[in-house]
Amino acid sequence: MFTMGEDMMKQWTENWEKLMGEHLEKLVHNEKFITEMSKSIAATMTGKAFYAKAMDEQMAALNLPSRTEIVKVLQKLTDIEERLIDLGERFEDYVEEQAKAKSSTESKPAAKPAKSSKGKGAAK
């Protein structure tokens, strides 16, 4: 009796899974569903933008910085940090080049005396 009930339950679950799986799969691929969901997201986002703008105006009326302004300041700080990293890298490249140039000029004098001993280009 128990086994029969368990089997029935198993069969029912399997059928439910199959049906639900097929139904949901169709639904999430349905173009109308996707379009309607996009419209709903668009409406939510438009509402959010409207609300944010209204809040900004309220804060401006109170002579207080709004969230948008604070975010802009944070983004400016990020830009400054980025610029500093770029400049740091350029400076490192410059130091590296200078070090290379210096080491190459330091290695040259060893060759020069040989040339000058022949009397060529010594005045230069």
Partner 1 sequence: MIGSLDTLVQHMDAVTEHFMRETASDWGEYPRGITPREEVWSAGNVSLLQFESPADAEGTPLLIVPSLINRWYILDVTEETSFIKAIAQKRPIFLIDWGYPGTEVGHLPLSHYYHKTIKRAIRQIRKITGTDKVDMLGYCIGGTMAYAFSCLEPDMVDHLILLTAPLDFSQAGILANYANTFPVEEFSASMEKMPGWLLAFSFQFIQPLGTYQKTKMFHKKCESEKFKKLFNAMERWISDPVDFPAKAYYELLTDLYQDNLLKQGKLTTAEGKTVDPAARKAKILVLNASKDHIAPIPTTLLPETDRAPFTQVTIPSGHIGITTGRNCMDACQNVIDFIMN
The residues, ordered by sequence, that sit 6+ positions from 121 with a Cβ below 8 Å of its Cβ are 115
* Binding residue (CB under 8 A) for partner 1 from 29, 108, 120, 124: 29
Q: What is the Cα–Cα distance from 31 to 21, expressed in whole angstroms?
A: 18
Of the chain, the end-to-end C-alpha distance in Å amounts to 112
Q: x-or-dash pattern for partner 1, window 47-66, by CB under 8 A?
A: -xx--x--------------
Nearer to partner 1, 28 or 101 (CB): 28
Does residue 11 come out as left (phi exceeding 0), alpha (psi in the -120 to 50 range) or beta?
alpha
Binding site residues, partner 1, CB under 8 A: 5, 8-9, 12, 17, 20-21, 24-25, 27-29, 31, 34-35, 37-39, 41-42, 45-46, 48-49, 52, 71, 74-75, 77-78, 81-82, 85, 89
